[in-house]
Amino acid sequence: MQHATLHIEGMSCAHCLNAVNQALAALPGITIDSVRIGRAEVSYDERITNLAALEAAVAEAGYRATAA
């Protein structure tokens, strides 16, 4: 498993936390360690997914994620 910290722009409330959580949780090969406003900590199986897929899922939910 790889660990990643995503910096996420556009989050402001509990709804945002939910939306980001669900977007990430829907991806295969990922374990969410924590989601806070502006930041998500995740572990992922690099044989199944990658940082670009994580960033794209967050983008689809309406936020802008950048891997730290």
Residue 23 engages Cu ion in binding (rule: CB under 5 A): no
For 48, how many CA atoms within 13 A lie in the half-sphere containing its CB?
10
Please tell me whether residue 52 binds Cu ion under the rule CB under 5 A. Answer: no
Q: Binder to Cu ion among 6, 8, 16, 54 (CB under 5 A)? A: 16
**Within the chain, where are the H helices?**
14-25, 51-60
Contact status: 8 vs Cu ion (CB under 5 A)? no
| Euclidean distance between CA atoms 57 and 9, whole angstroms | 14
CA 61/CA 68 separation, integer angstroms: 19
Give the range of 5-13, 20-28, 33-41, 57-65 binding Cu ion by CB under 5 A. Answer: 5-13
Based on CB atoms, which residue is closest to Cu ion, 4 or 16?
16
Sites of contact with Cu ion (CB under 5 A): 12-13, 15-16
